[in-house]
Amino acid sequence: MIELVLDVNGAERSARVPPLRRLLDVLREEFGLTGTKEGCGEGECGACSVLLDGELVNACLVPACQAQGAKVVTVEGLARPDGTPSTLQRLFLERGAAQCGICTPGMLLAAQRFIDLGATPTDEAVREALAGNLCRCTGYSKIVEAVIEAAREARR
């Protein structure tokens, strides 16, 4: 067992866990952050995507010991401090970019990473940024529209 200490969504969190326990399980079971979803458990779908020290990762593939001392942002961490949705989250809602909700947290984190990088928000660029996140419900067009609009708003 290790004492895992992380900065999760801006707050220090700790838990005593087996070193090879998945970051996904620590977030969901130890910290109660159930927004991060398990889709495939093999790093193929992106549903469990989180930002780990600013990099987009599949939390189902990250052993807890590799996250020691890291800064982790989950979908819950995207909201404003007062709990209202971020611009990106609001646009996902307004544009109908969320369907069943399994892929949505990972899509939001991948989109936030894209926006944080300041990339030019074109259809092609957004699709490439979201390529590691699979969605079986939307057909992606509404997701791409929401991300492009959020990226443009962030650039203002």
Kindly state the helix (H) or strand (E) to which residue 103 belongs, with its residue range. none
Within this chain, do residues 14 and 70 fall inside the same structural domain, yes or no? yes
Please give the model's pTM, rounded to 2 decimal places.
0.96
The per-residue pLDDT for 156 is 87
92: nearest Cα among 77, 81, 103: 103
The per-residue pLDDT for 65 is 96
Cβ-contact 94, 121 below 8 angstroms: no
Task: Give the total number of structural domains in the chain.
Answer: 2
Q: Residue 128 is part of a domain; what is its CATH number?
A: 1.10.150.120
The owner of tokens 């419900």 is 137
pLDDT digits (tens), the chain, 156 positions? 999 999 999 999 999 999 999 999 999 999 999 999 999 999 999 999 999 999 999 999 999 999 999 999 999 999 999 999 999 999 999 999 988 999 999 999 999 999 999 989 999 999 999 999 999 887 899 999 999 999 999 998
Within this chain, do residues 116 and 92 fall inside the same structural domain, yes or no? yes
Q: Residue 71 is part of a domain; what is its CATH number?
A: 3.10.20.30
Give a yes or no: residue 80 inside a domain. Answer: no
Rg (CA), the chain: 15
- Which structural domain, as residue segments, surrounds residue 14? 2-75
